Amino acid sequence: MGHVSKTSLPAADHATRLREALLAAAFTADGLLELLGAPAYAALARSETVPALRATRGDAPLDTLVRLFLLQRPVPAGRAAAVLPLTECVADGWLTEADGEVRATVDVRPYSGPEDQDWFIVSDLGCAGGAGGIGSHEEGVVLGIGGASTTLAGITVRRPVGSALDVGTGSGIQALHAAQHATRVTATDLNPRALDFTRLTLALSGAAPADLREGSLYEPVGTETYDLIVSNPPFVISPGARLTYRDGGMAGDDLCRTLVQQTGDRLNEGGYAHFLANWQHTEDEEWQDRLRSWVPQGCDAWIVQREVQDVTQYAELWLRDSGDHRTDPAEYAARYDAWLDEFEAHGAKGVGFGWITLRKSAAAAAGEPSIVIEEWPHAVEQPLGPAVEAHFARQDYLREQDDAALLAAHFTLAAEVVQEQVGLPGAEDPEHVVLRQNRGMRRATKVDAVGAGFAGVCDGSLPAGRILDAIAQLMNEDPVLLRDRTPQAIRLLVEEGFLEPLPPGGRMTG
């Protein structure tokens, strides 16, 4: 799978017949897992083919399809004809036939949708595993599904919308997801091959076609606005733009900054935008301040840094991705040096990777944006979209509540929050108490005795102030002082999702 084929792409004229044949042979995510077993299936995602080759030595229809479309091996034409509409597949360009054998011209990879839909992602041969596992990428190549693609799909808020825009669509994964809940989907890419692959992915997955437009960033859509914008852009900070799928071609992190800053004018009121991005860590600026300056006027933002690499680690990662580590040592050293020159020119000491979510809101337009920028390298629950939407709902709530309103409000403890007591064995009192979520961001926060007691009795039956009065009595504290100092702690527990406010009409009775 080291060779990348860039032949002319298939037509989608008989995509429905091909889809039916693939499904009839159980060429699905579940079917692959059952045939290959978990280890070989996971290895295939890393572009390691030997386990899958060993698992497909039979002549069953699924063995044939795996060898054709995933392992890119030739199979006898007779075996292919027993599984696929061979004449149409050859005529449309999905397969080539020579000397009694057929070969696939593109990679077709089963992909399970969020509601267990059977979808297919079409990409260049040898590229389905995504970055890091190929070792021989060419300019203009279109990758299949990878970890970044699934991450972005998972963090996206999914609700019915009128219009959605996928900027830098690649093989069409985000457009495919958006087609399930958007009336109209527009997909753009600087690479015309990517638009062709998106067309194939949508057709073979049985999704409605998208409005496909060629061009960079927002150029193809002009002043049009959308309810949802998603982008897994070519965010790699690199010297030059050698590889279209990953290198933005702008200096430093300017591509990601430009994309984010220009989003405010393209979002409808209440609309969401989700991006994966890289950003520089520089000597003269805190990374949080750098990203805060990216947020466009009129938008709330939630930015999560998931990982940071120093410049040498970062350069080595992407040199391996493009196979440069396998070139002549002198050439590799020269390219490595060019990466470090790029970082030095911009004063960069490291690179952060993470998620950026924007939401257009009236409060932000009025000069009261909610901008939360944090570092969270820990495991989260995917799909995270519902937690992202809940985050912004909590920000709206907190903007509207002063301390008096918080004390009059009713709260419940969020589902699957557990309490952990930390201290020496046998000690009468714990050193501290930790509240931990088992859903969403899976946060943990340290609380004092008042916070633990308060959270423990929040069942919606009593207002916060009444609960604090009872705690004050139990702990022999002044209830007025406790009411004065506690709202900030309540605000933090609400912001991080440990406590959920009940609407006035939704109060429980004890």
Joined tokens for residue 426: 């046998």
Q: Helix (H, G, I), strand (E, B), or coil: what is residue 410?
A: strand
Q: Read off the pLDDT of residues 72-105 as tens digits, 9 standing for 90 and up.
A: 999 999 999 999 999 999 999 999 999 999 999 9
Amino acid in position 403: D
Amino acid in position 184: R
pLDDT band at 1 (very low <50, low <70, confident <90, very high): very low
> What's the distance, Cα to Cα, between the start and end of the chain in Å?
64
Q: Residue 507 pLDDT more than 90?
A: no
What's the rounded mean pLDDT across residues 181-192? Answer: 97
Contact 495, 501 (CB under 8 A): no
pLDDT score, position 3: 43
pLDDT score, position 135: 38
Task: Classify residue 285 by its DSSP letter.
Answer: B
Place of tokens 């995602």: 45
In SS3 terms, 207-260 reads as CCCCEEEECCCCHHHCCCCEEEEEECCCCECCCCCCCCCCECCCCCCHHHHHHH
Determine the Cα–Cα distance for residues 102 and 107; give it in Å rounded to an integer. 14
User: What is the pLDDT of the chain when averaged over all its residues?
Assistant: 92
Q: Which helix (H) or strand (E) holds 278?
A: strand 267-282
Q: What are phi and psi of 68, to 5 degrees?
A: -70, -60
Place of tokens 């009025």: 366
Q: Read off the pLDDT of residues 229-245 as tens digits, 9 standing for 90 and up.
A: 999 998 888 887 666 66
Q: Residue 461 pLDDT more than 50?
A: yes
Q: Give Rg (Cα) of the chain.
A: 26
pLDDT band at 329 (very low <50, low <70, confident <90, very high): confident
Please list the residues that pair with 417 across neighbouring strands: 437
Q: Helix (H, G, I), strand (E, B), or coil: what is residue 409?
A: coil
Q: Helix (H, G, I), strand (E, B), or coil: what is residue 314?
A: helix
Determine the Cα–Cα distance for residues 377 and 2; give it in Å rounded to an integer. 32
Determine the Cα–Cα distance for residues 142 and 298; give it in Å rounded to an integer. 34
Place of tokens 């920000």: 395
Q: Give the contacts of 194 (CB within 8 A, at least 6 positions apart).
A: 142, 168, 169, 170, 171, 172
pLDDT score, position 428: 73
Across 50-59, 125-134, 347-356, 451-460, least confident range: 125-134
Joined tokens for residue 475: 């702990």
pLDDT score, position 92: 97
pLDDT band at 133 (very low <50, low <70, confident <90, very high): very low
* Contacts of range 500-507, beta carbons closer than 8 Å, 24 or more positions apart: 500/411, 500/412, 500/413, 500/414, 501/397, 501/409, 501/410, 501/411, 502/409, 502/410, 502/411, 502/412, 502/460, 506/460, 507/410, 507/460, 507/461
Determine the Cα–Cα distance for residues 30 and 38; give it in Å rounded to an integer. 11
Joined tokens for residue 172: 């069409």
Q: Residue 504 pLDDT more than 90?
A: no
Determine the Cα–Cα distance for residues 90 and 387; give it in Å rounded to an integer. 46
User: In terms of residues, how long is the chain?
Assistant: 510
Q: Residue 363 pLDDT more than 70?
A: yes
Joined tokens for residue 154: 């998972």
Q: Read off the pLDDT of residues 330-351 as tens digits, 9 standing for 90 and up.
A: 988 998 998 899 899 989 999 9
Determine the Cα–Cα distance for residues 203 and 17; give it in Å rounded to an integer. 11
